[in-house]
């Protein structure tokens, strides 16, 4: 099968740190790791829930010290994304996870941005950068970091809300999102992965987000589902991540088919691919195999991503044209093309 053009909207750049690069950066920075080998580190990648993942995720970030470290991590992701068929990516970074351990905001931002500046010429991938804030930290801390980003005219297109969802409702961050909108930034938030459907409602009503990251628990609230369908709110779903973090028991039990069948604006992404067993191509391949999706359904997932991206109308037309060309190149015919354009 010719590779499906992909739009990656739910990707944490720190979650692309592969064990090999962790060891390389540790050696470069003269750091001792608590693991004797790459294989020993990989053995830690069995998670009971979101928090057990976050503990390792933040621990591994300690190897990121210099602008070059952040640039190398970002370029490694872009190179892998290019092989996965990614045409556009909107990368989330966690500034608080770095400033809290003494890394200046400018260091991490400049390193990531330097790689993204050349992403289209070097890898054929257009890109945008989103500053994601930690919901288990005080909103005052997030506001202080956002003000610093705005003062330095950071090349970000929006803000997000991530980290431990349970017990940390979106409504706590109204002031942060109000400030972001005044600065003309796009707004997204993780909601409805571990947290209840009410968190999705709060993200929509209180934070007034443009997209919901995850959102899979919306199916527990029929009124919410209808609203999401009517408003075509984008849901950036990460199937392999949901399985690895035990949000769903198995991929076969994932609600993606129901979300698609109900007419929700759902697309597929990789979240933290170094930790969850798959970049976006692997996510797409496994959901197609597991659910028996047609070429038209796969194109619809990709087109939903393109329509939900924070890009110019011209770039959106290019992305949709690439997806349509892929679909026309598949062996199956007309009705699936209509699905992709619906």
CATH number at residue 332: 3.20.20.140
The reply to whether 252 falls in a domain is yes
Q: What are 85-106's pLDDT values in tens digits?
A: 999 999 999 999 999 999 999 9
**319-328 confidence digits (pLDDT tens):** 999 999 999 9
What is the domain extent for residue 87? 6-341
127 - beta bridge partners?
Answer: 89
* Residue 1 maps to a domain: no
Please give the pLDDT value at position 1. Answer: 40
CA dist 192 and 108 (Å) reads 29
Mean pLDDT of 50-79: 94
Q: Is the pLDDT of residue 341 over 90?
A: no
d(CA 342, CA 300): 8
pLDDT more than 90, % of the chain: 88
Q: How many domains does the chain have?
A: 1
Q: Is the pLDDT of residue 134 over 90?
A: yes
Residue 19 phi, psi (nearest 5): -55, -40
User: Average pLDDT of 301-316?
Assistant: 98
331 — pLDDT class (breaks 50, 70, 90): low
Task: Tell me the backbone φ, ψ of residue 216, rounded to 5 degrees.
Answer: -70, -20
Q: Give kind and range of the element (H or E) at residue 267.
A: strand 265-268
The Cα–Cα gap between 217 and 225 comes to: 10
Angstrom distance (rounded) from CA 248 to CA 159: 27
CA distance 178 to 125: 31
Q: Is residue 153 part of a domain?
A: yes
334 pLDDT band (50/70/90 cuts)? very low
For the chain, the average pLDDT equals 94
Note the pLDDT tens digit of each residue in 218-277.
Answer: 999 999 999 999 999 999 999 999 999 999 999 999 999 999 999 999 999 999 999 998
Structure tokens belonging to residue 106: 């400018």
Residue 193: active-site member: yes
pLDDT of amino acid 2: 79
Average pLDDT over residues 45-72: 91
- Per DSSP, 204 falls in state H
Q: Is the pLDDT of residue 170 over 50?
A: yes
pLDDT at 316: 98
- Evaluate whether residue 78 is within a structural domain: yes
Which is catalytic among the residues 18, 90, 193, 336? 193
Q: Determine contact, residues 282/288, Cβ cutoff 8 Å.
A: no
Query: Do residues 87 and 127 lie in contact, with contact meaning Cβ atoms separated by under 8 Å?
Result: no
The stretch 49-60 carries a mean pLDDT of: 88
Question: What is the token pair recorded at 99?
Answer: 């400033």
- What pTM value is reported for the model? 0.93
Which stretches of the chain are DSSP H helices?
A: 19-28, 38-42, 50-60, 67-83, 95-99, 105-117, 119-123, 139-151, 174-182, 197-205, 222-231, 239-244, 256-261, 273-276, 280-291, 295-308, 313-328, 334-341
pLDDT (mean) for 143-154? 97
């Amino acid at each position: 099968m010719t590779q499906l053009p992909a739009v990656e909207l739910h990707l944490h750049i720190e979650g692309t740190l592969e064990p090999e690069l962790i060891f390389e950066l540790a050696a470069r920075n003269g750091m001792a790791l608590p693991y004797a080998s790459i294989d020993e580190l990989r053995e830690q990648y069995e998670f009971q829930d979101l928090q057990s993942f976050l503990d390792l995720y933040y621990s591994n970030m300690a190897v990121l010290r210099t602008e070059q470290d952040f640039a190398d991590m970002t370029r490694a992701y872009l190179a892998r994304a290019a092989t996965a068929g990614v045409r556009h990516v909107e990368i989330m970074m966690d500034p608080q996870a770095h400033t809290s351990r003494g890394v200046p905001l400018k260091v991490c931002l400049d390193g990531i941005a330097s790689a993204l500046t050349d992403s289209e010429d070097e890898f054929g991938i257009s890109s945008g950068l989103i500053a994601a804030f930690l919901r288990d930290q005080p909103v005052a801390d997030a506001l202080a970091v956002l003000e610093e980003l705005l003062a330095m005219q950071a090349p970000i297109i929006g803000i997000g809300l991530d980290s431990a969802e349970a017990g940390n409702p979106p409504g706590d961050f109204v002031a942060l999102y109000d400030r972001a909108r005044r600065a003309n930034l796009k707004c997204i938030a993780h909601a409805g992965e571990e947290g209840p459907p009410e968190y999705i409602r709060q993200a929509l009503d209180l934070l007034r987000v443009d997209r919901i990251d995850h959102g899979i628990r919306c199916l527990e609230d029929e009124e919410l589902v209808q609203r999401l369908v009517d408003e075509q709110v984008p849901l950036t779903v990460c199937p392999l991540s949901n399985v690895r973090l035990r949000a769903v028991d198995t991929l076969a039990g994932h609600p993606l088919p129901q979300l698609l069948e109900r007419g929700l604006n759902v697309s597929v992404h990789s979240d933290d691919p170094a930790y969850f067993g798959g970049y976006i191509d692997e996510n797409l391949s496994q959901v197609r195999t597991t659910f028996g999706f047609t070429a038209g359904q796969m194109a619809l997932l990709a087109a939903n991503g393109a329509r939900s991206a924070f890009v110019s109308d011209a770039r959106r037309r290019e992305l949709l044209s690439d997806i349509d060309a892929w679909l026309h190149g598949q062996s199956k015919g007309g009705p699936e093309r209509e699905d992709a354009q619906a």
